[in-house]
Amino acid sequence: MSKKLLEKTINKSSDRDIGDFKLLFEDDKTLITHWTIEPGKQTGWHLHDYDYVTIQQSYGTLYLEHSDGTTREVKYTPGTTRSVKAPVEHNAINIGDVDIEVIEIEYKY
């Protein structure tokens, strides 16, 4: 899984709880995680060392804060996929009123 940046989360985002995640699968090449982020919760600051794909499992709105200071909103729709090139350091906050569910597949190469 991506490296947690606990100190940064505490310093910048300690007013929000962390969403729930479950490791679904891991081997030497792949890591698959299921995230549930309730309204108002966050992932916490973390670094993706590997390219990854997300598969949206729910509707909702996620607010992304990037390490370079940029931000953006991502509208979630079930079945939508997105490919992301590493490295990526960010925090994701559910700014909607429904749980956000997403499957994240990281490729360890």
Q: How many domains does the chain have?
A: 1
Angle at 20 between CA 16 and CA 23, to 5 degrees: 145
The DSSP secondary-structure symbol of 28 reads S
Is the pTM here over 0.85, yes or no?
A: yes
CATH number for position 37: 2.60.120.10
Output 3 or 108, whichever has higher pLDDT. Answer: 108
Which residue segment(s) compose the domain that 85 sits in? 3-107
Tokens, residue 23: 């490791």
Exposed (0-12), middle (13-18) or buried (19+): which is 76, by Cβ within 10 Å? Answer: buried
Is 15's pLDDT higher than 90?
no
pLDDT tens for 52-79 read: 999 999 999 999 999 999 999 999 999 9
Kindly report the backbone phi and psi dihedral angles of residue 11, in degrees, each rounded to the nearest multiple of 5, phi listed first: -70, -35
- CA 24 – CA 34 distance, rounded (Å): 7
Average pLDDT, the chain: 92
The answer to which of 12-21, 39-48, 98-107 has the lowest mean pLDDT is 12-21
